[in-house]
């Protein structure tokens, strides 16, 4: 319980799925967690659930892809807490399920802006808050397809630009890590495999057992499988780890 005691953690896109599981785990480990998403009803529901478990939480409506929303979020964190210890950048979209060759420019821009640019800007904007605390830990949420942007599952061919964006997050993590080292800020990444969420519902239409068999894993993952890895990377147990990516995929062979 005391692993993250007195730490302030911001988790974006944290009212459902993997983001909520991460927020819940960080709070259970002692952090005061700031949850946010674009919809007020989702923020309120997440805050109510965590509060009912006697966990410390603050909620705010924020579209992490919007500069003005991020500025309001940073101002709130600075005024309420005087700094930030942990950032988990979890925002992602994939609005297009066709091949790269036919991907419209507007879709490409949306995916890269949301999945990569928002993480890049969040890191820039939260580091000053972490310096007030003497350092911090940043975790980006990529995907196993970041190592396999050409990955195919059954008849589904829709990873395309989404896979490219998740590859970019892995590179972004490695690029930021040495630059922030002297500020005592660690930057790591978690790359989930197929996790049972609303986001992955289309991939699981054929059934979990058949999909797991095709992936050669024992089961489909759940959001809580990712939460422990993130909490570890945010803790002092990972104080000598930076610039790394932990794959949480059940053994999908996505890299050596």
The dihedral region occupied by 39, where left means phi > 0, alpha psi between -120 and 50, and beta the remainder, is beta
Contact 111, 145 (CB under 8 A): no
Query: Residue 70 has which token pair?
Result: 């991020």
Of 55, 77, 177, 205, the residue nearest 133 (C-alpha): 77
Distance, in Å, from the CA atom of 182 to the CA atom of 192, rounded to the nearest integer, reads 29
By the 8 A CB rule, do 54 and 235 touch?
no
The single residue listed with the structure tokens 């890590």 is 177
Least Cα distance to 148 among 13, 242, 256, 17 occurs for 256
Residue 45, exposed/middle/buried by CB under 10 A (0-12, 13-18, 19+)?
Answer: middle
Please choose, from the candidates 177, 132, 172, 126, the residue with its C-alpha nearest in 3D space to the C-alpha of residue 10.
126
Active site residue 162: yes
Question: Three-state SS for 233?
Answer: helix
Q: Which residues are designated catalytic?
A: 162
């Amino acid at each position: 319980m005391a692993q993250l005691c007195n730490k302030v953690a911001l988790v974006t896109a944290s009212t459902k799925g993997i983001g909520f599981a991460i927020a819940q785990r960080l709070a259970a480990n002692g952090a005061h967690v700031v949850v946010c998403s674009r919809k007020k009803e989702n923020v309120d529901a997440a805050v109510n659930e965590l509060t009912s478990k006697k966990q410390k939480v603050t909620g705010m409506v924020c579209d992490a892809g919007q500069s003005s929303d991020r500025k309001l979020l940073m101002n709130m964190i600075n005024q309420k807490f005087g700094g930030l210890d942990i950032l988990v950048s979890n925002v992602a979209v994939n609005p297009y399920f066709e091949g790269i060759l036919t991907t419209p420019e507007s879709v490409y821009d949306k995916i890269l802006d949301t999945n990569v640019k928002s993480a890049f800007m969040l890191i820039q904007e939260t580091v000053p808050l972490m310096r007030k605390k003497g350092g911090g830990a940043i975790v980006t949420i990529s995907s196993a397809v970041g190592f396999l942007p050409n990955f195919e599952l059954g008849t589904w061919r829709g990873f395309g630009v989404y896979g490219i964006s998740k590859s970019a997050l892995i590179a972004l993590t490695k690029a930021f890590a040495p630059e922030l080292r002297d500020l005592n800020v660690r930057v790591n990444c978690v790359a989930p495999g197929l996790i049972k969420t609303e986001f992955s519902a289309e991939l699981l239409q054929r059934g979990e057992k058949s999909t797991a068999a095709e992936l050669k894993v024992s089961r489909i993952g759940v959001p809580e499988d990712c939460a422990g890895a993130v909490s570890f990377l945010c803790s002092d147990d990972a104080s000598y780890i930076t610039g790394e990516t932990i794959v949480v995929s059940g053994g999908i062979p996505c890299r050596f």
